[in-house]
Structure 1
Amino acid sequence: MAEETKCACGSANVAIFPCAGAANVGQLSNKIAVELDQQGLGNMMCTVGIGARAPRLMKSAEASDRIIAINGCPVKCATKTMELAGFKVGHKIVISELGIKKTKDKDLKDEEVAEVLTKVMEILQSE
């Protein structure tokens, strides 16, 4: 079965909430969430919508079996947003803890995206 070849996060009911902040690590967070969504490992959702308490988005998050927060830096805005809204975050990933230095550069390098995606996949498979 195809489902068995996917990482432990693979499910129709996995919600992925990225940081999408202004720094490179925030942009990487968003890009990784897009990649995970495109690979069918979860559904990327709007973290800001949770902060705004958008009713439909809140219902979608409530209906999720698992929540992944992909933070850019140690401030952990994505995780905090979800927790302040009352959600339990199963995976709390921080891009800057994966060997990526936080900068103001928003020009993401393909090799950096691939490196971070590999590391995130390893984290999701190990937990």
Structure 2
Amino acid sequence: MSKKEASLTTENDTCCGAESKAVILGCSGGSNVGQIANNLMIELDKSGVGNAYCLAGVGAGLSGFVETAKAARTIVIDGCPVACGKKVFKNYGITPTQYFVVTEMGIEKNHVFEDLREEMAQALSYIMEKI
């Protein structure tokens, strides 16, 4: 088993390899920008910026997830101004180290999911310039 695979199978209610790297939490809402946010989290993980982490685990109040989010350097990526990820953090008194909203990157929210490559490239470029 690889180190990455092992980090996904930790005990109790933690997961996803939240070691010393930043933890990256992305919206996965039901719109193009929600899916772009989720895909950005994955791409940032693949590029070594940090480790993808579970926003739902923080939102559910699972102690290990909340404690990791409080202790770690965090990057939260919301899809739109509804700001679900930011609100989850606020509910636990956490301020993300870095915060991004996909619609603030010039991408319009809609429900078209067929081909998000151009928007993904635009958003990824924006984030990479800021981190």
TM-score (structure 1 length as normaliser): 0.81
| Alignment pair present for 1:91 and 2:98 | yes
| Alignment pair present for 1:116 and 2:109 | no
CA distance in 1, matches of 2:38, 2:111: 15
CA distance in 1, matches of 2:109, 2:118: 16
- The answer to which structure, 1 or 2, has the higher relative contact order (CA under 8 A, 6+ apart) is 1
SS of 2:69's equivalent in the other structure is helix
TM-score (structure 2 length as normaliser): 0.79
SS of 1:50's equivalent in the other structure is helix
What is the Cα-based RMSD across aligned positions, in Å? 1.5
What do residues 16-61 of structure 1 show as CA deviations (whole Å, max 9, x unaligned)?
Answer: 1111100000000000000001111011111111110112222322
Task: State the percentage of identical aligned residues.
Answer: 36
**Residues matched between the structures, number:** 113
What do residues 53-110 of structure 1 show as CA deviations (whole Å, max 9, x unaligned)?
Answer: 112222322331x111101001111111112112121111000010100001122422
Gaps of 5+ in 1: 1-10
CA distance in 2, matches of 1:83, 1:67: 13
